[in-house]
Amino acid sequence: MIKRGVSLYSYQQSQFFKKLDLKGQIREVREGLGTDGIEIIDEAAIPHYPFPSEEFIYDWHSYMARYRMKAVTMDVYMDVHQFRDHVMTHEEAAEHLKQDIMLAHKLGFRNVRTLVLVPTDVIEMCIPTAEKYDVRIGKEIHAPWPIKPGGQIKAQKGMAAVVNFRMVDELLELKERTHTDHIGLVPDFGIFQYRPSEVAIDYVKRHAKNPDAVDWILENAANYSHDEILTLVDEKFPGHGIPGSDVERMATHESSAKPEDIIDIIPHIISIHGKFYNMTEIPGQPGHYEDKCIDYETPMKYLRQYGYDGYIDSEFEGQRDQQDRGVEHLVDEVEQVRRHHEMLRRLSGE
């Protein structure tokens, strides 16, 4: 069955302004949302990472037990420049990931999530450690990466230029070749985003010298390639003041994966990132909410129909595009996550 959790990344703003500490976030998930799944980013949640004190580990387990919580997934990163004098080798990266696996085990996490750019051979080197400590390694599927080769988008510039369209297949081939059940996938609902978020549009308009350029991009993105949009917006709106990365964001008009693509990978999913940017009330449906830029309904239908048994962890990222306006305009992260869970309950048939 589909279970609900929260990536505590969702409360980053509340943590920064000391409204919710780690314990307060865990308490909110239990008491405010009525659920038990916890996902953390190691460096953001663990004091003195990667070497937390025994006192912290004891306190963590005590608090999780007090609220009957489940440690679902620990998100791990790979700072390949951490040694400062050289870029980390694949062997060094594997040792780093092994340490994260052991730390996840100490904290009771069943899974660790790696970023899409972590090479497959690094994950392979860590399989014995994952099996020894019974912690699954999940590779994230994050936009603009597709689920299947030849997916919706075509790699062009920027982040899309480094997309390995066979990333998912390579991971599943490794799983089959090594006969392990300790590696899998972590799809991010951002792969089903089909238009720019409302908060992103507002942000870009606030900072554009000519906001009309944003409206033109939104109206015409589907008719041109990425390169054509960059050229045309410069021609039509000289000095518009929109960085190329924001032009690319505003030009989003199709998702990087088809919702039905998720069906074949359901047996390999270890957890899911419930990415969202802005939950607003559905017109004519008081108390029901949606994110207008991400298709949740169709993938959720397939997850229910084909028996996904695991957590969807809310991952709120909308605060990023609202932090330029001052403290008085900061979004209420707690309310946004509560709205997201209303949608998850409704779409999962809970």
> Do 114 and 244 fall into the same domain?
no
Residues of the domain holding 305: 2-194+254-348
pLDDT at 81: 83
Termini Cα distance of the chain: 9
3-class secondary structure, 289: strand
pLDDT at 161: 53
**CA neighbor of 137 nearest in space, from 89, 75, 60, 50:** 75
Domain boundary among 234, 253, 272: 253
> Do 248 and 152 fall into the same domain?
no
Per-residue pLDDT of the chain (350 residues; tens, 9 = 90+): 999 999 999 999 999 999 999 999 999 999 999 999 999 999 999 999 999 999 999 999 999 999 999 999 999 988 888 888 898 999 999 999 999 999 999 999 999 999 988 999 999 999 999 999 999 999 999 999 999 976 444 545 554 556 778 899 999 999 999 999 999 999 999 999 999 999 999 999 999 999 999 999 999 999 998 889 999 999 999 999 999 999 999 999 999 999 999 999 999 999 999 999 999 999 999 999 999 999 999 999 999 999 999 999 999 999 999 999 888 899 999 999 999 999 999 999 98
Instruction: State pLDDT tens for residues 54-89.
Output: 999 999 999 999 999 999 999 998 888 888 889 899
178 Cα distance to chain centroid = 27
**CA neighbor of 186 nearest in space, from 266, 250, 243:** 266
pLDDT at 152: 46
User: Domain with 113 in it: what CATH number?
Assistant: 3.20.20.150
For residue 159, what are the contacts with CB-CB under 8 A and spacing of at least 6?
Answer: 144
- The tokens for 331 are 């979004």
The strand ranges marked E within the chain are 2-7, 37-41, 70-75, 111-114, 136-141, 183-187, 272-276, 280-281, 289-290, 310-316
Distance CA 323, CA 330 (A): 6
> Do 265 and 247 fall into the same domain?
no
Number of domains present in the structure of the chain: 2
pLDDT at 162: 60
| DSSP, residue by residue, 241-281 | ---HHHHHHHT--S-SS-GGGHHHHGGGBS-EEEEES--EE
Among left, alpha and beta (phi > 0; psi -120 to 50; other), residue 34 is left
Q: Residue written as tokens 């999913």? A: 269
| DSSP, residue by residue, 191-228 | GGB-S--HHHHHHHHHH-S-THHHHHHHHHGGGS-HHH
> Do 163 and 207 fall into the same domain?
no
3-class secondary structure, 22: helix
Instruction: State pLDDT tens for residues 242-273.
Output: 999 999 999 999 999 999 999 999 999 999 99
pLDDT at 83: 82
> Do 49 and 186 fall into the same domain?
yes
Contact between 14 and 333 (Cβ < 8 Å): yes
> Do 162 and 229 fall into the same domain?
no
- Alpha-carbon torsion 219, 222, 223, 228, what sign? positive
> Do 231 and 280 fall into the same domain?
no
> Do 181 and 224 fall into the same domain?
no
Q: 0.85 exceeded by the pTM? A: yes
Domain boundary among 253, 276, 295: 253
Domain boundary among 253, 268, 295: 253
Please report, rounded to a whole number, the percentage of residues in the chain having pLDDT higher than 90: 88
> Do 208 and 279 fall into the same domain?
no
> Do 53 and 178 fall into the same domain?
yes
Distance CA 46, CA 103 (A): 10
> Do 142 and 214 fall into the same domain?
no
CA angle 114, 115, 117 (to 5 degrees): 125
